[in-house]
Amino acid sequence: MKDIRNKIMAPCMTLLAASVAMTSTGSLMADSKTIDIPSTSEGTERVYCVGSVSKVYVSAAAMQLADQGKLDIDAPLTDYIPDFKMADPRYKDITVRMLMNHTSGIMGTRYSELCLYGDDTAISNDEFIKGFEIQRLKADPGEYSAYCNDGFELLRIVIENVSGMSYTDYVVKNIAGKIGRSNTGTGLNVQDREDKADLYRGGLPLDYEYCLELGAGGIYSTASDVAEFGSAFWKGDNRLLSESAKNEMASRWTSDTDEYKDGSGLGWDYVEELAYSKQGVKVLGKGGDINNMHASLLVAPDNEISVSVLSSGGSSMYNSFVAGKLMDIALEEQGIEITPEAPMDVTIEDKIPEDFKQYEGYYSIGSMTGSGIGNVTFSEDTMTVVTESVLTKETAKYKYTTSGGFVEVDDNGRIRKNQTVVFFEKGSDGKVYIKGEQSMSMPGLGDYIRKQYFGEKMEAFEASPEALDSWTQMSGTPWVLVNDRYSSTNYDSPFMAMKASEDMPGYMMISLSAGSRVVKIEDQMSLKAFQTMPSSTNRDLCDAILTPDGTLSLSIGSEYKPVATLPELTADVREVELKTKDASWYRISDDMAFKTISVERPENSTICIYNKYFELLYTTHVTNAKNELDLPEGGYIVFLGEDGGRVKISG
């Protein structure tokens, strides 16, 4: 088995030696019949952020402490973080285990100051914990699993409180040290390394990106280090954890066999996959993404295979396809042939049963990255779903099948190549959900089938006339992010828009860089998330409050102001005073359009320019960015920095 492990780790390193060439190298690897490819030397490996693969690391740390009798994962979170409080009494029922399997009921992710360019300044534990005081829970703790980054950052604080060590020191000593690796750390101890991966946008080099939610996404490592970490989960390997702890991590969060619910283990995205399990192979998997770096880790504990693919650019989905191909090749060497899971076999019926009329209506339709409002209607033989979001309106048509579900068809009535089959489900509480499976084909990489709950029937209700009028007036108004740190990656896409639903008065659609959301008008000053879908479609929900000064404050920590209230950048503006976590925004005046200005700025500052379509045109996070700035017509410019700093403008 040692030979297979070496072969698996070698191509991982080859893939990462030049991440820019990952696609062509990855395709060659996927098509190859062997994996006997020379590895790069350890000295030429690059350090990447592994994103959410970090969740497996912090979960392993928790299970180490449990193995030592220092941590009870079924004890209340408040036993280990006494200051943790929420605006919801149910928070006392959250256990440490629930942080690891995404069942805590916590809304999702605090995006403010999550990832920074060229800056490894993290917020304090106290500040992070305090942010929960204004949040409520979206579900009873333990009710269902929906992806939750904040839970793993709380877990990181638990590790520190129990061990008495900083999390970075804990990882270096008790994770990397115990598996004999020296290239693994966190976003707090990699800044001085010269072997960090290069980052690019549009062919231009970027400042390095630091993820400062260390438990949720802040591990930095090389491909070979990550693959070695994965090998610590092989059966019989007790370098990090006992067999019982590893088995605990590799167990699905629920005994419920509903395949449309998340398949999370402790830290792992999934702990069983049909294509492998039908061949008697257990595979654990975790993907990770930050803005500019991506990761995938696959481990077959019983077959002693660990595959790690890290990249600059792309996405964890691409990485997981490559990792899956490498896993399949390694299993083939053991005489195990993996056949991809096939899409559901469907046969179209001529008519839709009358019973389905009860499911007509409006639904919150979503994915893990966004949502809109979908109008579901039935004719004699076709289900039509018209889904509207802030910026788009799309129509999909479905035909009834012998399976009791509906398959999406094209305009000619043919089943689409990337097949989608959906089902309606009515819960014991009367709520109606849509669940389904979608098959996706990635040329040269393979096929993938995703199953989840992604729709929930909306209830009509009457918001007060005053509240409805107040929020409807804001429909279509763009907003800008104002309270993030100067180095935040959130300023790559800092605009937000809202749209009132005409068909379902009382509901608003919000478009954020983190995805679109549907919320309910609570009163003149507040919006509230309402979804209860039992899957990761329900990740990253947020409530919003309109403050007296016109700022929209989201429960995830971000604040926005209307574009219409921004001052104009005119020729008279010669200096901009910078303020900590208080962006200085300007609309570019008509007189300044197409002109070039020169700027002098302090070290801890950022300038970004956007066109009238809200697209980023210029950022000082491009390495050696020029100080002469071309101003677009109808665009926007933001100056970011710290108290006492000033930007001087000339030209």
pLDDT confidence tier of residue 370, bands split at 50, 70 and 90: low
As a whole number of angstroms, the distance between CA 417 and CA 431 comes to 31
Q: Provide mean pLDDT across the span 450-455.
A: 94
Give the count of beta carbons closer than 10 Å to the beta carbon of residue 447. Answer: 15
pLDDT confidence tier of residue 41, bands split at 50, 70 and 90: very low
pLDDT at 69 over 50: yes
- Burial (CB count within 10 angstroms: exposed 0-12, middle 13-18, buried 19+), residue 237: middle
pLDDT at 8 over 80: no
Phi, psi angle pair for 67, to nearest 5°: -60, -35
383 Cβ neighbours under 8 A, 6+ residues apart:
352, 356, 376, 377, 397, 398, 399, 400, 406
Higher pLDDT, 150 or 38: 150
Specify which of 217-221, 256-260, 367-371 reaches the highest per-range mean pLDDT. Answer: 217-221
What sections of 413-534 are H helices per DSSP? 465-472
47: tokens are 């350090």
pLDDT digits (tens, 9 = 90+) for 74-108: 999 999 999 999 999 999 999 999 999 999 999 99
| pLDDT at res. 35 | 31
pLDDT digits (tens, 9 = 90+) for 526-576: 999 999 999 999 999 999 999 999 999 999 899 999 999 999 999 999 999
What average pLDDT is seen over the chain?
91
Q: Provide mean pLDDT across the span 189-216.
A: 95
pLDDT at 514 over 70: yes
pLDDT at 369 over 60: no
pLDDT at 495 over 80: yes
265 within 8 A of 253, measured Cβ to Cβ: yes
pLDDT at 454 over 60: yes
As a whole number of angstroms, the distance between CA 306 and CA 8 comes to 7
pLDDT confidence tier of residue 31, bands split at 50, 70 and 90: very low
pLDDT at 9 over 60: no
As a whole number of angstroms, the distance between CA 610 and CA 348 comes to 48
As a whole number of angstroms, the distance between CA 298 and CA 64 comes to 21
As a whole number of angstroms, the distance between CA 307 and CA 317 comes to 14
Q: Which long-range contacts (CB under 8 A, 24 or more apart) does 467-475 make?
A: 467/521, 467/522, 467/523, 467/524, 468/500, 468/505, 468/506, 468/521, 470/524, 470/546, 471/498, 471/500, 471/508, 471/521, 471/524, 471/527, 472/500, 474/498, 474/500, 474/562, 475/499, 475/500, 475/508
pLDDT at 413 over 80: yes
pLDDT at 2 over 50: no
